[in-house]
Structure 1
Amino acid sequence: MSLEKRLQEIWYGGAPVPLVLRALVPVYRGLRALHRAPYAFGWRQPQRLPVPVIVVGNITVGGTGKTPLVIVLVEALRAQGRKPGVISRGYGGSAGSPILVDSSSNAALCGDEPVLIRRATGVPVAVGRDRVAAAQLLLAASDGNEPAVDIIVADDGLQHYPLFRNVEICVIDGERRFGNGLLLPAGPLREPLARLDTLAFCVCNGGLAQAGEIPMRMVGDTAVAVGDAATRRSLHDFAGQRVHAVAGIGNPARFFALLRAAGIDAIEHAFADHYPYQPRDLDFGDGLPVLMTEKDAIKCAAFAHANLWQVPVRAELPREFFDALARERI
């Protein structure tokens, strides 16, 4: 069993926590305290930008559905007449200094999620390890005689203290929740659960939302040919068929469950989050259709075959969430 699978069993599967992992928790807690101390004690101040910042993140390791929420937030802000831009660390990409992302950007450089956001929304997107510098790059851009953005959404970054934020949103995996509830490396928590009490909104992706949480569900009902975006089929066209299901996301089981709910007989292939696909990874030797997430498809377009399909998903949240966000006066 790989280390990643072993940790998943410990964090989410009820396997006993080895003493060595428990012993490392105080080390992690201490390092986290050192990282946060300059801002907690006022020795350094987070950088305030001339526009509001909304941070969408999580307190657990791995994906929880942040990117779909960022996309729907961007669309909602634009519908309100705002001009949103997005910043991201660009996980999975090699970019160091901040760069702007466009629809043709290489995911190997920028990361898969920023490219997905840019293609899905068309708004300005910048990536960089230094999120403040990435935001300043967005602010330096212009749209004619007007600034290109008047509000910034950060994809991840709850633990990035140098950037001041006006609103913090935490996305919770409604199925896995917080696992065994322990801090890294004994559990999946980046921060203690008490951190949730400091946030403006907690969004529950799937499962049953708890008191005070905003329910969010993922909807995916269309399959799009990876090599030809104009070719589309209803996902239910694959019902009763045997297919290969490929997912390199934080929680691949969520994608596989989506396919099973559509009546599809899926052979599951789970890859690591941000996995850099090669043609051999999708060569299953039997000619069956291959269905994958939209995030995975970004890295496979160059070698897509005719039977390779992506299944885009969209986040749906109650109207009350957007109304409450508007009342934040950002």
Structure 2
Amino acid sequence: MKRLDYYWDSLNPVAILLLPLSWLFRLVSWLRCQAYRMGLLITSELPVPVIVVGNITVGGTGKTPLVIWLARHLRDLGFTPGIISRGYGGQADEWPQPVTPQSDPTLVGDEPVLLASRTGCPVWVGPDRPRAARQLLSESDCDILISDDGLQHYRLRRDLEIVVVDGARGLGNGLSLPAGPLRERPARLNRVDMVIANGKSPLTEHRMTLVPGRLINLADPSHQVGLDYFAEQRVHALAGIGNPERFFDTLRSAGLELQTRPFPDHHRFTETEINPEDQLPVIVTEKDAVKCAPFAGRRHWYLEISAEPDPGTIQQLDKRIREFKNG
């Protein structure tokens, strides 16, 4: 049985069948947005600038690598950034929760652990983002916050909105959930401060590229090799992310011969799943690595990925960010 997102690239019988639910979702989403814009629902304002990085579609767009790049870039500009996130999939009994590289992704979510590991920034998670943000600020000296995937969380007032779109998939069939991938109407892109495409896109002139880095051994992180280390070799490629094919294509482009196995986004891997009966190397995504590390062996590797915005995008972004300093 095909996953629902298989039908989101075109107008097909399944998508048409789901149109009534799609219209209902779009209506509820629009009414909620209007309630915040009219002041019927209250937003929380923080004492520091807030940058929201999100998307209007479901599925992987490259948002997490951009958040990592942005956190480091803000530090280079003289800021002390912190990161808040929902902690999707986390099963902690109490919220909000601080996140460190050693945190259990089962409790706080996989992406926050990755963000804490790659940025070194204070990270707090919780469904109530304003509360998580206030807790972070009370326990750190951060002077700017990044809200990861918080575009639709209107309770938190934001100073800069960045939307990431997938250059290849765009907005899919242009329909709202569940008939298509959209969380909000396409017109929402006209109200954000910047749209950045992962690859070329007719939706925006701003662009970034996802650049593969080193392959890092899960059992011994000091053991790192280039992606071409496994060129022309047979390997298992596992991915529990929003767009697994992008990850597989990256490995294929380096000459690896793949036995692929995609999983749902945020999949909680088991020891059996990452240990096929043969002895071939196993390569997972960086996000999946934080969940697989506790039971990984020396044949398990993950690929580090970094976002690289183009110079024009960085220049435009810096212009907006410096307004925070001047303000």
Structure 2 length normalisation: TM-score? 0.95
CA–CA distance in structure 1, aligned partners of residues 126 and 270 of structure 2: 25
Measure, in 1, the Cα distance between the counterparts of 2:223 and 2:50.
37
- Aligned letter for 2:78? G
Contact kept, 8 Å, 2:79 with 2:143, in 1: the verdict is: yes
1:71 aligns with 2:68: yes
Instruction: Report how far residue 323 of structure 1 moved.
Output: 2.3
2:39 equivalent to 1:42: yes
1:18, CA displacement in angstroms? 4.7
Distance 1:210 1:129, change over 3 A: same
The match for 1:149 is 142
**1:168, CA displacement in angstroms?**
0.4
CA RMSD of aligned residues (A): 1.4
Superposition deviation, residue 13 in structure 1: 5.3
Q: Give 2:318's match in structure 1, choosing from 317, 320, 326.
A: 326
Contact 1:92–1:274 (CA<8 Å) still a contact in 2?
yes
**Equivalent AA in structure 2 for residue 65 of structure 1:** G
In structure 1, distance between residues paired with 2:203 and 2:180 = 23
Contact 1:74-1:84 at 8 Å conserved across structures: yes
Letter in 1 for 2:190: D
Structure 1, unmatched stretches of 5+, are 143-147
Could you give the per-residue CA deviations for residues 221-245 of structure 1, whole angstroms, max 9, x where no partner exists? Answer: 3110011110111110111001000
Tell me which residue corresponds to 1:60.
57
Between 1:65-74 and 1:92-101, the stretch displaced more is 92-101
CA contact (8 A) 2:207 2:313 kept: no
Q: In the alignment, which residue of structure 2 is the partner of 1:229?
A: 221
Q: Secondary structure at the match of 1:286?
A: coil
After superposition, give the CA deviation of every residue in 1:140-166 in whole Å (9 maximum; x if it has no partner).
013xxxxx2000001101111100000
- In structure 1, distance between residues paired with 2:219 and 2:290: 10
Cα shift at 1:178: 1.0
Distance, in Å, in 1 between the alignment partners of 2:68 and 2:34 is 32
Q: Name the stretch that deviates more: 47-56 or 31-40.
A: 31-40
| d(CA) in 2 for partners of 1:26, 1:210 | 25
Residues 19-34 of structure 1: pairs in structure 2 closer than 5 A: 19-34=16-31
Residue matched to 2:290 = 298
Q: Which residue of 1 aligns with 2:78?
A: 81
Shift of 1:92: 1.9
Question: 2:169 and 2:13 mapped to 1: Cα distance?
Answer: 17
Matched position secondary structure for 1:298: helix
Q: CA offsets per residue over residues 90-109 of structure 1, 9 Å max, x none? A: 11211351111112100001
TM-score, normalising length: structure 1? 0.94
- SS of the residue 1:185 aligns to: coil
**Preserved CA contact (<8 Å) 2:8 2:15:** no
Instruction: Report the alpha carbon displacement of residue 211 of structure 1 after superposing the two structures with TM.
Output: 5.7
Deviation at 1:325, TM superposition (A): 1.7
**C-alpha deviations, 1:120-156, integer Å up to 9, x for none?**
01110000000001100111013xxxxx200000110
Q: 1:16 corresponds to which residue?
A: 13
Distance (whole Å) between structure 1 residues aligned to residue 98 and residue 122 of structure 2: 7
Is the Cα contact below 8 Å between 1:178 and 1:189 reproduced in 2? yes
Q: Structure 2, unaligned stretches of length 5 or more? A: none
